[in-house]
Amino acid sequence: MKNYRVAVIPGDGIGIEVIEAGLAVLDAAAKAVPGFALEITRFDWGSDYYRRHGRMMPADGVETLRGFDAIYFGAVGDPEIADHVTLWGLRLAICQGLDQYANVRPASIVAGVASPLRDVFPGDLDLVILRENSEGEYAGAGGRVHRGLGTEVGIETAVFTRTGVARIMRFAFDFAEKRPRRRLTLVTKSNAQGHGMVLWDTVYAEIAESFPTVETERLLVDAAAARMVADPHSFDVVVATNLHADILSDLAAALAGGLGLAPSANLDPERRNPSMFEPVHGSAFDIAGTGIANPIGAIRSAAMMLDHLGAWNAARAIENAVDRVLAEDRVRTPDIGGTATTPEVTAAICRALAEG
């Protein structure tokens, strides 16, 4: 029996609801596929914690998390608190503090879910976007001067280091090499940004020499967005900067049926620190507490967590159960055309797990 210590941070809004759904599915998976157990520790960090303490998590929060095998995260954001305060105070603080530099966002159309694209069906869109998670425009470099004056200036500096670019490139090539199609697309904007983006192009070409079996191509981000809509099948694995991949992965999720279905992982590939797993969607306060949040993104993220931890059979079982429930087209939340509640979808996936 393998035991894993998991830190659970539901966060804000629907994050609380979908994480509870994910935990229920994880419990069902442990019963259906013996061989592992999860020791869950919950943390009430988030916007309500901020209201009580003036910060999103304790000063030693990142250090506290180092003692866990993985982190299961819900969502962050509150309409009453500035977004940069909530994001930098919790999610980005964890990602950067634990050097989770590789963000993995798969997107695929599954049976029973309609894409908004015409004549695009399961198998036509099946890609993974790899996002550099520690540098770029989200590095936190910059500032504001002359605040409140007509001459006020805001500077946001994109930071790219050879070390940071090289490690996400190696991760991306290794990831693509394990996929059946072995195709890796680099997305930049190096025609207009001739320093940092050209560094990405240069390092990509250098590392490609060590992976002769991986087919490579380079696209500008605007061309990539257009082609993702016009020809999604042409993509297999995409690697891009923090900002570009953030935008493209939301586009890919929407094309695959909606953000509510999309999982993600924030990895420290060297496993020096715990990695964090979360649905792509935000806190969605407009539907929080109504019981209609789609839990599948969080449930799929739980499967990614088990896969990372080594409970591969349980991870596959969860993915199969989700696919079966979606394919049957009887129990689904309103965002993908149904009328079911979050607990009803969760219960259906738990039943599918129990039935094998």
Residue 182 has pLDDT above 90, yes or no: yes
CB 199 within 8 A of CB 162: yes
**Extended beta strands in 118-223, E state:** 126-132, 136-145, 153-159, 183-188, 215-220
Whole-number average pLDDT of the chain: 96
Instruction: Say yes or no: 132 and 184 in one domain.
Output: yes
Instruction: Say yes or no: 181 and 280 in one domain.
Output: no
pLDDT of res. 61: 97
Domain count, the chain: 2
Instruction: Say yes or no: 151 and 238 in one domain.
Output: yes
Q: Which residues are catalytic?
A: 138, 189, 222, 246, 250
pLDDT of res. 92: 93
Helices (H) and strands (E) in the chain, counts: 12, 12
Confidence of residue 305 (pLDDT cuts 50, 70, 90): very high
Q: What is the pTM of this model?
A: 0.95
Domain boundary among 196, 221, 256: 256
pLDDT in tens, 265-276: 999 999 999 999
pLDDT in tens, 219-256: 999 999 999 999 999 999 999 999 999 999 999 999 99
Residue at 38: amino acid letter: L
Domain boundary among 212, 229, 256: 256
123-146 mean pLDDT: 93
Domain contains 108: no
315-328 mean pLDDT: 96
CATH number at residue 246: 3.40.718.10
Instruction: Say yes or no: 252 and 187 in one domain.
Output: yes
Residue 193 has pLDDT above 90, yes or no: no
Instruction: Say yes or no: 249 and 311 in one domain.
Output: no
Residue 77 has pLDDT above 90, yes or no: yes
Instruction: Say yes or no: 16 and 78 in one domain.
Output: yes
Residue 329 has pLDDT above 90, yes or no: no
Task: Tell me the residue range of the domain where 270 lies.
Answer: 1-101+259-356
Instruction: Say yes or no: 344 and 223 in one domain.
Output: no
Instruction: Say yes or no: 211 and 274 in one domain.
Output: no
